[in-house]
Amino acid sequence: MEIVLKDVAKRFNREILFESLNYTFKSGESTAIVGPNGSGKSTLLQLIAGNQLPSSGEISYNDNGSNIPVEDIFNHISFAAPYLELIEEFTLLEQIQFHFKFKPIRSGETINSLIEYSFFDDHKHKFIKNFSSGMKQRLKLALAFFSNTEILLLDEPTTNLDKKGSEWFFSELNKMDGSRLLILASNQEIEYKNCHSMLNLADFKVC
């Protein structure tokens, strides 16, 4: 799997977040997107996920030489971010079951193993609206990790996590076998210190 950015730019009104961005993300590699607040890290992830369109330039997705239309890339991506919403009216079990109607669960795992491994054993029938912000973030990460997708997008992944949650996150991150394409946006070096490469959006900011 490859994601190719060619002369990508994003503007909001008169402000140019970044421009002339050329980069190729490849399966088996992990890339950290860094830059000061407001540089467009989250926006770039939204562009890569197909949730927004670039102001100019193009983003293409290639799987073993076959082009994937942007409207189909959702099937290949797992995305976790603090600002992405869960369904508050669902219980934990209902949320997980709903998620895996659209994404296959990774080989060898089950819904019960996800619940157990993510420390949700006592919350199976608890409504999402009654979860703390840290529990919601841990659930979003668990759904992303346990989905059998080629691309994993993470935006500020340890936001709202306590020490136990952060340790769980880094343990799961370190277990990745290199088969997925990982893109992680963050300002915290501890979150991306093991990434293979770094994309600094400050290098693509108009002065």
**Residues 94/72/51/54 CA torsion (nearest 10 deg):** 170
The tokens of 62 are what? Answer: 């290639």
- What would the CATH number be for the domain defined by 2-204? 3.40.50.300
Question: Which residues of the chain are under the pLDDT cut of 70?
Answer: 207
**Angle value at C-alpha 73, between 136 and 144, nearest 5 degrees:** 25
Count of C-beta atoms within a 10 Å radius of residue 57: 16
Predicted local distance difference test score (pLDDT) of residue 207: 59
Q: Where are the domains of the chain?
A: 2-204
Predicted local distance difference test score (pLDDT) of residue 97: 98
pLDDT tens digits, one per residue of 51-84? 999 999 999 999 988 999 999 999 999 999 999 9
Which pTM was predicted? 0.95
Predicted local distance difference test score (pLDDT) of residue 13: 85
Predicted local distance difference test score (pLDDT) of residue 175: 87
Helix, strand, coil percentages in the chain from 3-state DSSP, rounded to 5 = 35, 30, 35
Predicted local distance difference test score (pLDDT) of residue 112: 96
Contacts (Cβ under 8 Å, ≥6 apart) of 35: 41, 200, 201, 202, 205
Selection from 3, 2, 25, 31 nearest residue 196 by Cα: 31
pLDDT tens digits, one per residue of 138-156? 999 999 999 999 999 999 9
